[in-house]
């Protein structure tokens, strides 16, 4: 699902009051994975229907993004940790974590980033790939007048782990489209992540989804709320068919 590969929340702020960093509004930064913006988010993904299986699936995911400077270059470190909170087959618990660092470079048209992503086998029995993975990550985000448009890619290749378990050799693509509206609202693509499995020589996730976002304040702290829906068109296996997502992203601007 959103975290590959193991798991495969007001007061309205007027637009004129939203803080800016560079040429990006805070709402725009919140939707930009290359932005140097500290954030902490909690996501819940509920899949009421699965391909080729009865039952449902619910995954809660924590993600933290920490910007820092290294050698005069802006970097963003991001940790993602999922947890299966409901599964019709009874498997629940923490899943494998992913950690990546991206060096980001500003340009007149937007920003691009190059870095590395790692898979950490932190998952519970039955939910972990039991593999360590490492690979390159890269992406870009352009800033046309109407919002954001870009593409983000991560690649995980097995480097160690339980030899009795299948390797994890995958590439992911996440399109980024966000159209900025008034009063802190925006619409765009969901966190839909296309996954290609190199060992199976096929795509194992083909989602299409939309997202509505709203920037507001909670106790004086800026929070971006997101509601999303996805349909996964990869119908082999027992993965999610429809997924409804709810995200609360706490922002810590400079």
DSSP-assigned states of every residue in 14-56: PGGGS-EETTEEHHHHHT-TTS--EEEEEEEEEEEEETTBSS-
Q: Which of 222, 226, 233 lies closest to 248, judged by CA?
A: 226
Check residue 187 and give its pLDDT.
Answer: 97
220 near 214, Cβ under 8 Å? no
Domains parsed from the chain with CATH numbers: 11-252 (2.40.160.40)
pLDDT of residue 121: 96
For each successive 10 residues of the chain (254 residues), what is the average pLDDT?
36 31 69 90 96 92 96 95 90 94 95 97 92 97 94 97 95 96 93 95 95 93 96 90 97 87
Quick one: residue 71, left, alpha or beta (phi over 0 = left, psi -120 to 50 = alpha)?
Answer: left
Q: How many residues does the chain have?
A: 254
Distance CA 194, CA 177 (A): 15
Point out which residues pair with 86 in neighbouring strands. Answer: 58
What is this structure's pTM? Answer: 0.86
User: What pLDDT shows up at residue 88?
Assistant: 81
DSSP labels, 144-190: -TTEEEEEEEEEEEEEEE-TTSPP-EEEEEEEEEEEE-STTEEEEE-
């Amino acid at each position: 699902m959103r975290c590959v590969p193991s798991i495969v929340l007001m007061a309205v702020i007027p637009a004129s009051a939203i803080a800016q960093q560079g040429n990006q509004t805070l709402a725009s930064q919140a939707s930009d994975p290359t932005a140097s913006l500290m954030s902490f988010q909690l996501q819940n993904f509920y899949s009421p229907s699965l391909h080729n299986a009865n039952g449902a699936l619910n995954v809660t995911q924590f993600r933290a993004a920490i910007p820092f400077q290294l050698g005069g270059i802006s970097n963003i470190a991001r940790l993602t940790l999922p947890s299966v909170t409901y599964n019709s087959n009874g498997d629940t618990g923490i899943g494998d974590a992913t950690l990546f660092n991206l060096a980001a470079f500003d340009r007149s048209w937007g920003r691009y980033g190059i870095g590395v992503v790692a898979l950490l086998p932190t998952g519970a029995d039955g939910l972990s790939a039991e593999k360590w993975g490492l690979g390159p990550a890269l992406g870009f985000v352009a800033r046309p007048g109407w919002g954001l448009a870009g593409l983000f890619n991560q690649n995980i290749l097995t480097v160690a782990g339980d030899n009795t378990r299948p390797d994890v050799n995958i590439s992911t693509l996440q399109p980024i489209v966000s159209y900025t509206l008034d009063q802190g609202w925006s619409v765009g693509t969901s966190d839909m992540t296309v996954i290609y499995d190199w060992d199976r020589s096929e795509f194992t996730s083909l989602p299409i989804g939309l997202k509505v976002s709203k920037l507001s304040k909670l106790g004086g702290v800026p929070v971006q709320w997101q509601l999303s829906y996805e349909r996964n068109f990869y119908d082999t296996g027992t993965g999610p068919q429809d997924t409804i997502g709810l995200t609360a992203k706490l922002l810590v601007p400079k």
